[in-house]
Amino acid sequence: MLPTSTTLPIHIRPGNLQTSSAIDAWVHRKLAGAFRRYGSIMTAVEVHFEDVNGPKHGAADARCVMEARVNGRSPIAVQARAGDLYSAIDAAVRKLDAAIARVVERTDARARRRFRQQLTR
């Protein structure tokens, strides 16, 4: 695991793909934005890679699955497929960021609603 500016552990599981330090660095760099926004509530991220078609090549041959562990909530998992691994990682990071934002926004909205209800009592 490469050192990052946060203490959030990133577990990379290459599956049936051969990965390199460049791919590891790419994952860490792409997830840095999510760490800056949600680092205090995230506890871990698992990244899984898979070559969907094996030796055959296709339009969406690489798949990336990311699972984020968020304090007090069920794990949030997303997946993305693309022609190459770097594009699949990019798409999965965007989806993960949006999914975490929805969960956090929903929780914040519920807290605001409860607070307003307590004021009106």
Residue 4 lies in a domain: no
What domain range includes position 102?
Answer: 10-120
Which residue in this structure is represented by tokens 């990244």? 47
- Between CA 112 and CA 121 the distance in angstroms is 15
Does this model's pTM top 0.85?
no
Residue 88 lies in a domain: yes
Task: Tell me how many domains the chain contains.
Answer: 1
Q: Which of 74, 72, 67 is nearest to 31 (CA)?
A: 67
- 20 DSSP assignment: -
Give the pLDDT means over successive 10-residue stretches in the chain (121 positions).
Answer: 56 84 90 77 88 72 90 89 91 92 76 73 69
Q: Kindly report the CATH number assigned to the domain that includes residue 60.
A: 3.30.160.100
Residue 3 lies in a domain: no
Residue 66: CB partners within 8 Å, gap ≥ 6? 45, 46, 47, 48, 77, 78, 79, 92, 93, 95, 96
Residue 1 lies in a domain: no
Residue 85 lies in a domain: yes
Q: Do 67 and 100 touch, CB atoms closer than 8 A?
A: no
